Amino acid sequence: MARTAFFISDGTGITAETLGRSLLAQFENSNIQMITKPYIDSREKAQNLAAVIEATAVRDGERPIIIDTIVDQTIREIITRAPGFKVDIFTTFLAPLEEELNTHSSYSVGRTHAIGQDDVYMQRIDSVQFALDNDDGARVHQYDKADIILVGVSRCGKTPTSLYLALQFGIRAANYPFTEDDLDEDGILKMPKALVPYRHKLFGLTIDPRRLAAIRTERRPNSRYCSIDQCLQEIHQAESLFKRFHIPYIDTTRFSIEEISTRMIAETGLQRRIRPR
């Protein structure tokens, strides 16, 4: 039976959605439609949403699940009157923390995802800009400034992982794609000259060839680039290079970007410039 879950906040909704999805992911046999409703920051918006929740309960024949991080008491009361199973994250956890810390919460909207300290915010922006500037081997002369250099074949996940490392942790990640230009005369993948001085910064990404072929087909259908034979050959060459030069690597096939990044940090001991948000 289908159920609906609402993630509601008077701020960005990121905290409510992140926690809500983490909780509901434990119920993999349930058919749950997830809806995020950020910036419910007025009585009118709250009343309109309450009407939507009520209509959803009638349609589904089951009360919706409501997971919220609403700070404003008036708005919270309006949502509370809507027919739903409620998980009020702030009320559940703030009161016990207030008692333990012997102080009152500021009950401020958007504290988690606000800009906050200027230096921390600028670290995030600078790291993201570095990842963009150094995507796909664009500026190899900047590799001395990189914290890590992701290497692998085209479309194995290097770019999104680089951007996630930058945005979430302030890590300066460059990435370099292996191409046919990096093959020697015998058709063996050699260490690219631009990477030789930075072998200690290299981290490899690999992927199942069938998955790689499917991804590449979306980009260039009916081409040698997306053929399974080409993908098999490239993956074999890349993994052989990783083993030959003792470069640590991760198979990205079944891991999310979040898992790839945190595993990478754990394995390499990379220092985060900022804490994840």
pLDDT of residue 112 exceeding 70: no
Domain ranges of the chain: 3-101, 118-268
pTM (two decimals): 0.69
pLDDT for 119-138, tens place per residue?
777 888 899 999 999 999 98
Instruction: Give the DSSP H or E segment for 68.
Output: strand 65-68
Higher pLDDT, 161 or 71: 161
What per-residue confidence (pLDDT) applies to 222? 94
pLDDT value at position 145? 96
Q: What value, to the nearest 5°, has the Cα angle with vertex 9 and ends 7 and 14?
A: 70
Q: Which amino acid is at 12?
A: T
Fold of 118-268: Rossmann fold (3.40.50)
Residues tagged in the binding site annotation for ADP: 152-159
DSSP alpha helix (H) spans, the chain: 14-24, 43-60, 73-80, 89-101, 118-133, 158-169, 209-219, 228-244, 257-268
Structure confidence at residue 122 (pLDDT): 82
pLDDT value of position 115: 46
SS3 232: helix
The pLDDT of 183-187, averaged and rounded, is: 90
Give 112's contacts (C-beta < 8 A, 6+ positions apart): 11, 14, 15, 277
Q: What are 68's strand-pairing partners?
A: 8, 88
* pLDDT value of residue 5: 97
Residue 272 burial (C-beta neighbours within 10 Å; 0-12, 13-18, 19+): middle
Q: What H or E segment, with its residue span, contains residue 87?
A: strand 85-88
Q: Would you list which residues are annotated within the binding site?
A: 152-159
Tens digit of each residue's pLDDT (9 = 90 or more) over 212-268: 999 999 999 999 999 999 999 999 999 999 999 999 999 999 999 989 999 999 999
Res 109: pLDDT: 47
Mean pLDDT of the chain: 90
Residue 69 and residue 89 in contact, taking contact as beta carbons nearer than 8 Å: yes
**The one-letter amino acid at 44:** E
pLDDT score for 117: 55
